[in-house]
C-alpha cells in the first residue's frame, strides 16, 4: 500500500535523510513541509497538508512541534508523535510526573519557583545534584552542582539572566552512573534497538560527543521502555535510562530519566545491525494503513 507521508521539518538532518531514503525506496509519496513557510489557520489546513495520510513531526524547535502537532490533530491529520506525547516529552516536569505516576523508576526530582526554595531542594538532595532546564535537549544548560556556593551562583544567574522558563527550577538527585547511560529507540513501546553512550564527562549525550555502542535490550529494559512509552502516550520515542547502585557494588537497577519525542536515530543506526529507518517506516506504514482501513469502514 502506497501512502503519502508528510515530513514536517525546518532542517533536513541525517536522521530525516535516512527516513526519506527509506520512504523513497518503498515508493511512498513524500510531502516535505517546511514548517517555517506554513500558516496554520484554526479552521483550514495549509495547502501542503491536505493530501497527507500521515504527518511525521521532525521540527527542531520545541515550540513549533507543540503547536504544529495540535493543528494537525485539529485538522484530523494523523501525526506522529501526537500533540499529547509532544507536550509531555518536551517538558521535563511533565515527563517526570508521567514516569512517576506510571510507576517507572525515575530520579527523584523537586520543582521550585524561587531561588530560596530551590536552594532548599539542593541542600536536601545534597552534593552533587543536578539542575536542568525544564525545556531543552542535547545536554544543554545542565548543571551538576557540587557545592552550596556554586548552587547560589547558578540560581542567581538563572533568576537574573534567564528567560521565564528558567525561573522554574528543576532539581534532581545525582545518579552515580558508571560513566554511561542508555538510549532505546522504540515504537509504541516496542524497542527497535538500543545503545550505550559512554563518556568521561557526566553528560553522556551523543550530541556532547559520547562514544556509542550497541546495547542489548534486556527484559528489564523492555518492560521499562513499554511502561515509559505508555506513560507519555506512545509513539516513536527515545527512552533514556541510567544504571544505579553500581558504585556501591549492589546489582544495578535501571532508572528512566527522560523520554524524547522527536528522537534522533542516526547514531543508533550506525552502531546496530538493525535497520532503524526501515523499522520506523514499517511502523509508519502500519499507522497509516490502520487509518485508511478505518476510513474505508466509515465510508
Residues that bind ligand ADP (CB under 6 A): 107, 130, 132, 136-140, 142, 172-175, 177, 181, 202-205, 240, 257-258
**How far, in Å, CA of 2 to CA of 173, rounded?**
48
Listed in order, strand segments (DSSP E) in 141-291 are 143-145, 169-173, 180-187, 190-198, 211-215, 236-244, 253-260
In the bound state, the residue with its beta carbon closest to Mg ion is 240
Residue placing its CB nearer to ligand ADP in the complex, 102 or 175 = 175
Residue 272 interacting entry, from Mg ion, ligand ADP, none, C-beta within 5 to 8 Å by type? none
Contact residues toward Mg ion (CB under 5 A) are 240
Q: How far is the CB of 103 from ligand ADP (least distance, A)?
A: 19
CA distances from 54 to 11, 26, 29, 266, 280 (A): 19, 16, 11, 22, 13
Residue placing its CB nearer to Mg ion in the complex, 5 or 237 = 237
Residue 130 interacting entry, from Mg ion, ligand ADP, none, C-beta within 5 to 8 Å by type? ligand ADP
Residue placing its CB nearer to ligand ADP in the complex, 113 or 138 = 138
Phi, psi angles (nearest 5°) of residue 211: -80, 140
Backbone φ/ψ region at 263: left (φ over 0), alpha (ψ -120 to 50), beta: beta
Q: How far is the CB of 109 from ligand ADP (least distance, A)?
A: 8
128: cis peptide before it, omega within 30°?
yes
Residue 113 interacting entry, from ligand ADP, Mg ion, none, C-beta within 5 to 8 Å by type? none
Q: How far is the CB of 130 from ligand ADP (least distance, A)?
A: 4
Task: Using the structure block, give the residue that is written with the C-alpha cell 539542593.
Answer: 122
Q: How far is the CB of 107 from ligand ADP (least distance, A)?
A: 4
Phi, psi angles (nearest 5°) of residue 63: -60, -40
Residue placing its CB nearer to ligand ADP in the complex, 136 or 245 = 136
Residue 233 interacting entry, from ligand ADP, Mg ion, none, C-beta within 5 to 8 Å by type? none
Residue placing its CB nearer to ligand ADP in the complex, 46 or 128 = 128
Q: How far is the CB of 133 from ligand ADP (least distance, A)?
A: 8
**How far, in Å, CA of 63 to CA of 135, rounded?**
10
Residue placing its CB nearer to ligand ADP in the complex, 52 or 143 = 143
**How far, in Å, CA of 194 to CA of 136, rounded?**
22
Residue 154 interacting entry, from Mg ion, ligand ADP, none, C-beta within 5 to 8 Å by type? none
3-state SS class at 197: strand
Q: How far is the CB of 92 from ligand ADP (least distance, A)?
A: 7
Residue placing its CB nearer to ligand ADP in the complex, 69 or 204 = 204
**How far, in Å, CA of 152 to CA of 127, rounded?**
13
Task: Using the structure block, give the residue that is written with the C-alpha cell 501542503.
Answer: 48
8 A C-beta contact, residue 197 and residue 241: no
Residue 206 interacting entry, from ligand ADP, Mg ion, none, C-beta within 5 to 8 Å by type? none
**How far, in Å, CA of 6 to CA of 52, rounded?**
6
Amino acid at each position: 500500500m502506497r501512502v503519502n507521508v508528510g515530513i514536517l521539518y525546518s532542517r533536513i538532518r541525517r536522521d530525516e535523510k535516512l527516513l526519506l531514503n527509506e520512504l523513497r525506496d518503498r515508493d511512498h509519496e513524500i510531502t516535505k513541509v517546511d514548517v517555517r513557510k506554513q500558516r496554520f489557520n484554526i479552521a483550514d489546513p495549509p495547502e501542503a497538508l491536505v493530501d497527507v495520510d500521515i504527518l511525521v513531526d521532525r521540527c527542531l524547535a520545541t515550540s513549533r512541534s507543540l503547536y504544529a502537532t495540535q493543528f494537525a490533530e485539529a485538522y484530523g491529520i494523523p501525526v506522529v508523535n501526537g500533540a499529547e506525547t509532544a507536550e509531555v516529552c518536551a517538558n521535563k516536569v511533565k515527563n517526570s510526573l508521567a514516569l512517576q505516576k506510571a510507576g517507572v523508576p525515575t530520579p527523584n526530582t523537586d520543582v521550585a519557583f524561587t531561588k530560596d526554595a530551590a536552594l532548599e531542594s539542593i541542600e536536601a538532595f545534597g552534593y552533587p545534584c543536578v539542575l536542568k532546564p525544564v525545556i531543552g535537549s542535547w545536554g544543554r544548560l545542565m548543571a551538576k552542582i557540587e557545592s552550596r556556593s556554586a548552587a547560589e551562583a547558578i540560581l542567581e544567574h538563572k533568576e537574573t539572566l534567564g528567560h521565564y522558563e528558567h525561573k522554574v527550577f528543576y532539581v534532581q538527585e545525582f545518579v552515580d552512573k558508571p560513566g554511561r547511560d542508555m538510549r532505546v529507540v522504540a515504537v509504541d513501546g516496542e524497542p527497535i534497538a538500543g545503545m550505550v553512550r559512554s563518556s568521561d564527562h557526566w553528560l553522556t549525550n551523543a550530541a556532547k560527543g559520547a562514544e556509542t555502542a550497541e546495547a542489548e535490550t534486556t527484559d528489564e529494559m523492555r518492560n521499562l521502555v513499554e511502561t515509559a512509552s505508555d506513560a507519555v502516550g506512545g509513539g516513536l520515542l527515545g527512552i533514556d535510562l541510567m544504571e544505579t547502585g553500581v558504585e556501591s557494588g549492589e546489582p544495578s537497577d535501571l532508572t528512566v530519566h527522560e523520554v524524547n519525542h522527536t528522537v534522533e536515530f542516526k547514531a543508533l543506526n550506525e552502531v546496530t545491525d538493525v535497520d532503524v529507518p526501515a523499522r520506523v517506516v514499517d511502523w509508519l506504514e502500519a499507522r497509516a494503513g490502520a487509518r485508511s482501513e478505518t476510513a474505508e469502514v466509515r465510508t
